[in-house]
Amino acid sequence: MTLPIVLITGQLLTDAVWQPLLDAWADREVILADNRSDDRIEDFAQRLLDNAPPRFALIAHAMGGFVAFEVMRRAPERVARLALLSTLASADGPAQTARRQGYIDLVESGRFDQVVEERIPILFPEEKRGDERLLGIARRMAADTGADTFLAQQRAIMARIDSRPRLGEIAVPTLLVWGEKDGITSRAHHQEIADAIPGARLAVVPGAGHLTTIEAPEVVVPLLTEFVDG
């Protein structure tokens, strides 16, 4: 029996970031977790669990990774396999907090549209910043998210706890996926998680930035399919 799959992504992102996987997995049970309705990581995690099958594979991207760590603290027995994309386990440091406060200031001054433009250089490597398809996806996802939801997501992210102390308790097969030109998370962030979770492995996607699923679906879709199928 094919394992159900739950997908959760992060701030300013929508289900569009999963489209290559949704296309490839049209015959599977895939649940798209809600990343819009709460302003605390704990509430995102509980909502995910309330709407998920009894046992599932969890694939989490960016802010979704913060939610995934909370899911693993609350109900580890329900997650059969865990994939973490473009995320990190630590809480924000001063630099990250300052960057996020800058985004909040933009939104509160009526310049929400500028947020995604400021994020493009950290979402995509330099050679992809002229790719109108990718930029169009990023801009549409931001517009579909909207200012109020973005602010709620920011509050959740800024208040999250440091998940590193309990990574060693994760006892399911775990895959880390990182784009080698990600401007938001680093290889060190992912290696730290991989080293702490017993048996976890790290896959590096060459030439990709933060949005590996839409930048390199030819790499990421088969990688995740093989992982989910065990």
DSSP reduced 3-state for 159: coil
| Residue 113, in any domain of the structure | yes
pLDDT in tens, 18-28: 999 999 999 99
Q: Is the pLDDT of residue 213 over 70?
A: yes
pLDDT in tens, 30-47: 999 999 999 999 999 999
* DSSP β-bridge partners for residue 85: 61, 177
Give the per-residue pLDDT at 225: 98
Confidence of residue 96 (pLDDT cuts 50, 70, 90): confident
On whether the pTM is more than 0.85, the answer is yes
Q: Cα separation of 29 and 108, whole Å?
A: 39
Q: Is the pLDDT of residue 218 over 90?
A: yes
The H or E element spanning position 177 is strand 174-179
| Residue 165, in any domain of the structure | no
Q: Please check whether residue 139 is in contact with residue 14, taking contact to mean a CB–CB distance below 8 angstroms.
A: no
Count of structural domains, the chain: 1
Q: Is the pLDDT of residue 1 over 70?
A: no
Give the per-residue pLDDT at 64: 98
Q: Cα separation of 201 and 15, whole Å?
A: 26
Q: Is the pLDDT of residue 132 over 90?
A: yes
Of the CA atoms within 13 Å of residue 145, those in its CB half-sphere come to 31
Q: Is the pLDDT of residue 226 over 80?
A: yes
Tokens for 35?
């990343």
Mean pLDDT of the chain: 96
Q: Distance between alpha carbon 184 and the CA centroid of its chain, in Å?
A: 11
Confidence of residue 98 (pLDDT cuts 50, 70, 90): confident
Q: Cα separation of 51 and 42, whole Å?
A: 14
Give the per-residue pLDDT at 146: 95
Confidence of residue 203 (pLDDT cuts 50, 70, 90): very high
Give the per-residue pLDDT at 94: 86
Q: Cα separation of 5 and 9, whole Å?
A: 13
Burial bucket for residue 77 (CB in 10 Å: 0-12, 13-18, 19+): exposed
| Residue 166, in any domain of the structure | no
* Residue 217: CATH number of its domain: 3.40.50.1820
Q: Is the pLDDT of residue 93 over 90?
A: no
Burial bucket for residue 1 (CB in 10 Å: 0-12, 13-18, 19+): exposed
| Residue 41, in any domain of the structure | yes
Q: Please check whether residue 179 is in contact with residue 210, taking contact to mean a CB–CB distance below 8 angstroms.
A: yes
| Residue 138, in any domain of the structure | yes
Domain containing 75 equals 1-160+171-230
Q: What secondary structure, in 3-state letters, does 31-96 show?
A: EECCCCCCCCHHHHHHHHHHHCCCCEEEEEECHHHHHHHHHHHHCHHHEEEEEEECCCCCCCCHHH
Give the per-residue pLDDT at 97: 85
